[in-house]
């Protein structure tokens, strides 16, 4: 059985930093807004947004254990520990909160690196994570207006990929092939 929102809120408060908890609420609210705008279930979007970063502040040894024993990493993820909280988040969602809904689990799984042809819920959680107003007001102002254009959701996600790729290039970090593939597929839309 899925835990109540109250239990999850308390769990997040206890296991995330204050800023990360605030970001989780922001992502939930933004995902709910986007879900209403694009005609999908707003409660589900709120819930997925709320728990998307549940594994973000796990102690190193706990994260290590989950990554080594319970999840499969994709291309580029093994070299980038910052992305590990996405697959680990799926594990926490299942084991701590009793989430079985594959759409929600998949939205958590792909909120960091994304993937080609994301579902509406995956796109919404991916974008809400980047543009929620509580802790990302600058990105929100920069990107929210795109949503009023045709294919606005894909356009806003494309800008996220452009920013990610630019920042990786600036810092001379490797770009995984999946990121390039997603960027190319969004450009073609
Ligand atoms: Fe995250
Ligand atoms: Fe996040």
Cα of 60 vs centre of ligand 1, distance in Å, is 16
Q: For ligand 1, a single-atom ion, which residues have Cβ within 5 Å?
A: 53
What total number of domains does the chain contain?
1
Closest-approaching ligand to the CA atom of 130: 2
Closest-approaching ligand to the CA atom of 27: 2
CATH of the domain at 166: 1.10.3210.10
Closest-approaching ligand to the CA atom of 56: 1
CA dihedral 114, 177, 92, 120 (to 10 degrees): 20
1-11 pLDDT per residue, tens = 789 999 999 99
Helix (H, G, I), strand (E, B) or coil at 92: helix
Cα of 124 vs centre of ligand 2, distance in Å, is 12
117-151 pLDDT per residue, tens = 999 999 999 999 999 999 999 999 999 999 999 99
Residue 2 has what pLDDT? 86
Block mean pLDDT (10 aa), the chain, length 189 = 93 98 98 98 98 98 97 88 96 97 98 96 98 95 94 97 96 90 94
Closest-approaching ligand to the CA atom of 20: 2
| pTM of the model as a whole | 0.96
Domain that holds residue 182: 5-187
Residue 109 has what pLDDT? 98
């Amino acid at each position: 059985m899925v835990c109540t929102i109250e239990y999850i809120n308390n769990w997040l408060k206890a296991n995330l930093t204050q800023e990360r908890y605030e970001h989780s609420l922001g992502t939930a609210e933004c995902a709910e807004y986007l879900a209403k705008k694009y005609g999908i279930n707003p409660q589900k979007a709120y819930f997925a947004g709320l728990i998307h970063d549940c594994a973000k502040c796990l102690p190193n040894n706990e994260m290590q254990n989950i990554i080594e024993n319970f999840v499969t990493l994709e291309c580029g993820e093994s070299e980038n520990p910052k992305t590990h909280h996405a697959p680990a988040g799926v594990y926490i969602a299942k084991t701590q909160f009793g989430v079985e809904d594959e759409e929600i689990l998949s939205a958590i799984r792909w909120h960091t690196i994304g993937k080609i042809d994301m579902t509406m819920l995956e796109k919404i959680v991916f974008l809400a994570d980047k543009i929620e107003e509580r802790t990302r007001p600058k990105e929100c102002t920069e990107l929210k207006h795109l949503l009023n254009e045709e294919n606005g959701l894909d356009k806003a996600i494309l800008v996220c990929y452009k920013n990610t790729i630019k920042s990786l290039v600036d810092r001379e970090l490797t770009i995984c092939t999946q990121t390039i593939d997603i960027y190319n597929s969004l450009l073609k839309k």
